[in-house]
Amino acid sequence: MGIPEKIKAIQDEMHKTQINKATEFHIGLLKAKIAKLKRELDENTHGKTVSTGGGSAGFDVRKAGDATVVLIGFPSVGKSTLLNSLTNAKSKTGAYSFTTLTAVPGMLDYNGSQIQILDLPGIIEGASSGKGLGKRVLSVARNANLVLMVLDVFQIHHLEILKKELFEIGVKVNEKPPDVIVEKTSTGGISVNIQAPTEVDENFIKNVMRINGYHNGRITIREKGLTVDQLIDVVSGNRIYIPSLVVVNKIDLIDSEYLKSVTSKLNVPFVPVSADTDKNIELLKQEIYNKLDFIRIYMKPKGKEADYVEPLIMPRGSTVYNICGKIHRNMVRDFKFAQIWGKSVKFAGQKVGLDHKVVDEDVLTIVRRINAI
Ligand SMILES: Nc1nc2c(ncn2[C@@H]2O[C@H](COP(=O)(O)OP(=O)(O)O)[C@@H](O)[C@H]2O)c(=O)[nH]1
Ligand SMILES: [Mg+2]
């Protein structure tokens, strides 16, 4: 039996099983099996490229700047027009569907950060199962730091379809990953360490681990109220979590009454814009910047003044290790210690190691083993 047939057989079994307290874990295991088979199927069809977004599965775009943002939406909602108004790019726009056939990059300079924005071909319902260029578009989204879901003000029902298509290829928008740590060990079987109340029982957790190929391993659950689905997502490792913004375009065509009805129907925060007339484009830039949650780090060469003009831009939560990696590939190897002046330390000039977390506006000196910089 091939993988698609196996998936079908399990789905049939799930269909026949009544959902209640007694069958909850049985269904959970079937779900876990499907998750694993789907991952195998993706790896078979696309090699590793589906998860990396590179090669034949994605589009040939090089990541650049401090972060990458992708525009996801149906054809003709105004993605290309939006890219052109946010950046210096000139992406082809048109009144007919599928004007954009590849990924078109643009760069947005904002608050000292460089944000790469990618205009992509439109996706439609069924994109995740291969309709149009959908699968390639969605695999680029997997690698972004932020997804902009672009809607036409007259077609806001698209939002649910976009979310569903992203979900199908393993992207969850706006959710934080559950606080669960899965580690492989070489011996000792599977050990389960539950540190927060959850209804998922230990035996079930062990079974999900086994289905996913863990014969020895340790799982630590710190997420309160962890659900069966979340557990399967984490252990199967094929779900990623990306922040997103909903953008509603073409508001030049509506009045304030209509905007009110859009607000109540959508029932999620969104940024109303007009890419054509540049309305709220500055606001959108600010929202993108805020959502990316950058922090600024001022580098201070040893014994010299800090550079307050061109801070290093890093995602929040970065460590000294991450900064070393951004500066130079040998920096981690040569690292001796770092010194910090700022809110992340108790006193000015405190010495810290590679795993120290920096915060916004820290001043940082890195001292190398051989030559100090
Ligand atoms: N009225 C209005 N039309 C827009 C706006 N943005 C885009 N359009 C038009 O919508 C059509 C599709 O735009 P395009 O950017 O090519 O959409 P894409 O397929 O999502 O890239 C073009 O005719 C645009 O001129 C807008 O803010 N207001
Ligand atoms: Mg386009």
Output the tens digit of pLDDT for each of the chain's 373 residues. 888 899 999 999 988 888 777 788 888 888 888 888 887 877 666 543 333 333 345 676 777 788 889 999 999 999 999 999 999 888 888 766 666 778 889 999 998 888 999 998 888 888 887 777 777 888 888 878 899 999 999 999 999 999 998 988 888 887 778 889 888 888 899 999 999 999 898 999 999 999 998 999 999 999 999 998 889 888 887 778 888 999 999 999 999 999 999 999 998 999 999 999 999 999 999 999 999 989 999 999 999 999 998 899 887 778 898 898 888 878 888 899 999 999 999 999 999 999 898 999 999 999 998 754 4
Same domain assignment for residues 313 and 359: yes
Ligand 1 midpoint to CA 267 (Å)? 24
Which domain does 361 fall in, by range?
Answer: 295-368
pLDDT given for residue 156 in this prediction: 97
Inter-axis angle of helices 134-141 and 158-168, to 10 degrees?
A: 80
Say whether both 236 and 205 belong to one domain.
Answer: yes
CA–centroid distance, residue 96 to ligand 1 (Å): 9
Mutate to test the pocket of ligand 1, among 74, 87, 93, 258 (most ligand atoms within 8 A of CB): 93
Domain boundary among 240, 257, 276: 240
> To 5 degrees, how large is the angle CA 166–CA 168–CA 174?
40
CA distances from 311 to 79, 116, 255, 322 (A): 31, 18, 42, 15
Atom of ligand 1 nearest to the CA of 73: 20
> Domain of 313: which CATH number?
3.10.20.30
* Residue 155 in contact with ligand 1 by CB distance below 6 A: no
The protein residue whose alpha carbon is closest to atom 13 in ligand 1 is 78
Are residues 284 and 273 in contact, defined by beta-carbon separation less than 8 angstroms?
A: yes
Cα–Cα–Cα angle for 284, 286, 287, rounded to 5 degrees: 65
Claim to verify: residue 137 and residue 264 sit in the same structural domain = yes
Q: Is the CB of 95 under 6 A from ligand 1?
A: yes
311 shares its domain with 266: no
What are the backbone angles phi and psi of residue 90, rounded to the nearest 5°?
-125, 80
One domain for residues 112 and 167? yes
Domain presence at residue 199: yes
Looking at the structure, tell me whether residues 141 and 181 fall in a common domain.
Answer: no
* Nearest residue to 248 via CA among 148, 135, 136: 148
Same domain, 304 and 322: yes
CB 140 within 8 A of CB 59: yes
Cβ distance 100 to 122 under 8 Å?
Answer: yes
pLDDT recorded at residue 372: 44
Tokens representing 331? 């920096």
Backbone dihedral angles phi then psi of residue 297, each to the nearest 5 degrees: -120, 125
Segment holding 209, helix H or strand E: helix 202-211
Q: What is the Cα–Cα distance from 78 to 154, expressed in whole angstroms?
A: 12
Asked if 7 and 15 touch (Cβ cutoff 8 Å), the reply is no
H, E, C per residue of 300-325:
CCCCCCCCCCCCEEEECCCEHHHHHH
Question: Looking at the 3D structure of the chain, how many domains does it have?
Answer: 3
How far away, in angstroms, is 273 Cα from ligand 1 center?
12
* CATH code, domain with 268: 3.40.50.300
Closest CA to 117 of 255, 280, 292, 354: 292
Q: What is the pLDDT of residue 118?
A: 93
Same domain flag for 129 and 205: no
Q: Is 225 in the pocket of ligand 1 (CB under 6 A)?
A: no
Beta bridge partners of 143: none
DSSP letter (8 states) at residue 265: H
Specify the ligand 1 atom closest to the Cα of 81: 15
Ligand nearest to the CA of 121: 2
Nearest alpha carbon to residue 367 among 347, 352, 348, 346: 352
CA–CA separation, 169 vs 18, rounded Å? 27
Q: 185 and 160, same structural domain?
A: no
Residues 249 and 208 in one domain: no
Model pTM score: 0.74
Q: Please report, as a single letter, which amino acid is at residue 278.
A: D
Q: Please indicate, yes or no, if residue 234 is contained in any of the structural domains.
A: yes
One-letter amino acid at 316 equals R
157 and 248 co-located in one domain = yes
Torsion sign over Cα 328, 330, 333, 336: negative
Domain boundary among 255, 271, 292: 292
List C-alpha distances in Å: 2 to 39, 45, 169, 213, 346: 14, 13, 20, 19, 60
- Does ligand 1 come within 6 angstroms of the Cβ of 91? no
Atom of ligand 1 nearest to the CA of 275: 27
Asked whether residue 149 falls in the same domain as residue 116, the answer is: yes
Question: Does the CB atom of residue 75 touch ligand 1 within 6 A?
Answer: yes
Q: How far apart, in Å, do the first and last CA atoms of the chain sit?
A: 61
Please tell me the number of the ligand nearest to residue 150's CA.
1
Q: Phi/psi at 150 (nearest 5 deg)?
A: -95, 125
Report the alpha-carbon distance of residue 208 to residue 248 in Å, rounded.
Answer: 40
Q: How far are the Cα atoms of 25, 283, 332 from residue 7, in angstroms, in the given order?
A: 18, 45, 45
Residue 373 lies in a domain: no
CA–centroid distance, 74 to ligand 2, in Å, is 9
**Strand 312-315's sheet: what is its strand order?**
312-315, 294-299, 362-368, 335-341, 350-352
> Bridge-partner residues for 150, per DSSP?
73, 247
